[in-house]
Structures are given as C-alpha cells and as structure tokens.
Structure 1
C-alpha cells in the first residue's frame, strides 16, 4: 500500500512523497510532518509566509508500483521520470535538493 510522507529539507524545500518503499529515517537534515496541512503550517512559520503563498508549491515524488521507479511532479504539474534512481538514492536527492 502506498503511503504519503510530508517533508521539509534543510534548504527549505518541501515535498510530498507517495511511496511503497520509503523510510524517512534515512533522510538527512529533514523534518517529517503528519499531514500536508502540518507541512504548510511549518513552512509558513519558518519562512514568515501566508498559507496562500505556499499552498500547491510542494514538489511531489510518486513511486510506480510495478517497477518502484520515481516520478517527480513540480508545482506546475509537470512530471519528470527520474531514471535509474531508487529509494536509497532518493534519500540523498531529497536531503540535498535545491534549485
């Protein structure tokens, strides 16, 4: 069964992870939240922003059930398949993510 995770990394990027095979304890310098609303609230407090300024701007990573590969979906809804990245590499990717 796929589970959702709500994460902020140390560079203040925030993510929703839809995963079958993911262990958030393997992330480095990231904070985990119980819900999307909790994530939004934390971002607003940390960045001194209003809810409407950040809502919908999270980056989503969805794991395919058949091959367990990852798809990245940005805030515009554009998706990119992340070739040759498994959950182990995704931990590093999320922990160090910045534009």
Structure 2
C-alpha cells in the first residue's frame, strides 16, 4: 500500500476513533466528577446556582481528560496503522 493510500485509509478509521474517544472521555469525566464528591451532573457555564470555581474546575478536568484520551487513541491508531501498512499516518 502506498503512503498516500495508507493516509487515505486512515482517515475514516481516525474519524471513528475520534468519536469513540469523545464518548469514552465523556464517560470518564462523569465518573471522575462523581469521585471528586460532586453532584452527578457537572455544571454548565451558564448554571446560575454554581460558582466560578466549580465551573472552571469542571471545565479544566473535562479538558484534561479529553486531551489525554484523544492523544492515547490517536497514538494507538497510528501505531496500529504503521504495523498494518508500514506507513505512519499524518
């Protein structure tokens, strides 16, 4: 498989992995938020009853979890493509 074909073949796989990573990150965030001793639902930025600290803490935790899960899934997918095709997707 040529480098271009390998890159094109990775596009739909990468898209599916991205969707799965988003779902996994959302589930991990909900669990982490509960373990931190908060309500079942994380605050929305426009939630009038929540303070700035709680809203910003939830946003920071959610962003960190999403970034870690996305990086791990992207890297794992790229390694799998390299092992399968011999080419590193870009």
TM-score tier (shorter): under 0.3
Q: Which has the higher helix share?
A: 2
Tell me: higher relative CO, structure 1 or 2? Use CA pairs within 8 A at least 6 residues apart. Answer: 2
TM-score normalised by structure 2 residue count: 0.24
